[in-house]
Structure 1
Amino acid sequence: MALRDVVERHSATTVVFLHRLPPWVLPLVVAVLMVVGLFVRSWAGALAMLVLALFLGWFAYLSWPGLPWTARLLRVAAVVLLLAFAVGDITRF
């Protein structure tokens, strides 16, 4: 069984759970993580950025086959930028 099949199978219940949440919950959580990551200059800010990068990377991996190259490039750039912010916060201490 391919890695993609395993990830998609294990992600199915989480995706269904996220889909069943009220539509305002996920954007609110993302916004809170982004604000904490940008304005809290400590391990908590770095952790918020890492969680956001993992979440975005996971969604990018799941949607990758159906995306045009421009959308793929934007997703990779967003994950790299979040990771750069997190590393910047971590190396500051």
Structure 2
Amino acid sequence: MCRETVCRWWSAYTAGGVGALPGDRPGRPLGSGRLLSDEQAERVQVLLRTTTPEMADIAAPLWTRRAVRELIERDCGVTLAVRTVGLYLPR
């Protein structure tokens, strides 16, 4: 958290209690800025659960972030950074 944000929240809390604190989530809406559509992400998840890298002609023994990146490129035509692939995997 930014120091200014914490100070603003503290001032609001001391002046009006919990009710004075902002309740809405600031920033971009959840899901905005994602490069894969929900359908593409679901398809990748299905492929990860039902195939191996060998079955998908990917030279990797296990589904690593790099292997998943290659799968996404082949299947969806979208090039992602390895770090971005890591963010998609827990979803």
Structure whose CA Rg is larger: 2
Q: TM-score, normalised by structure 1?
A: 0.28
The answer to which structure has the higher helix fraction is 1
Q: TM-score, normalised by structure 2?
A: 0.28
- Which structure has more relative contact order (CA 8 Å, sep 6+)? It is 1
